Amino acid sequence: MDKLKVVFHINDPSRWQTALGNITNLLKDVGDDAAEVVVLTNGPSVTAYSDSALMEKIKELAQRGVRFRACRNSLKNLCSGGDVCINEENLPDFIEVVPAGITELVRLQSEGFAYVKP
């Protein structure tokens, strides 16, 4: 059977816990091998990548096959504006940086991925 393909869009940092819970439930329901899950983060939600408690859970899901992608524009905006600055080169291997998060959301949907906004 075809895998279930889905992209989770997170732009609000307060939605991370819900998103990670959603993904955990999905994998529990269908099995890790039956789903192709991408998490696309843009806007202030990229601050999660400097939060060690969240990163534990993210790493765990990444090891189960979930792909986490961060928007480069958003990482740059973060450094120019806020208290937190995340250097792209310091991100762990399981976080992939894409040039523009929105382009990625559109591209994935055109490839048959469902869209979910937690």
The least distance separating a second copy from the CB of residue 5, rounded to whole angstroms, comes to 7
Residue 36: phi, psi to the nearest 5? -115, 105
Task: For residue 93, give every residue at least 6 positions away whose Cβ sits within 8 Å of its Cβ, in sequence order, or none.
Answer: none
When binding is defined by CB under 8 A, the residue of 10, 20, 23, 58 that contacts a second copy is: 23
Does 9 participate in binding a second copy (rule CB under 8 A)? yes
Report the sign of the C-alpha dihedral through residues 60, 63, 67, 72, in that order.
positive
Q: Are 52 and 112 in contact (CB under 8 A)?
A: no
103 binds a second copy, rule: CB under 8 A:
yes
Q: Is 88 in the site for a second copy (CB under 8 A)?
A: no
> Which tokens sit at 4?
């279930």
Which x/- pattern, by CB under 8 A, does the window 41-80 give for a second copy? -xx---------------------------x-x-------
For tokens 């524009």, what's the residue? 73
Residues that bind a second copy in the complex, under the rule CB under 8 A: 4-6, 9, 11, 18, 22-23, 25-26, 28-30, 35, 42-43, 71, 73, 99-103, 105-107, 109-110, 112, 114-118
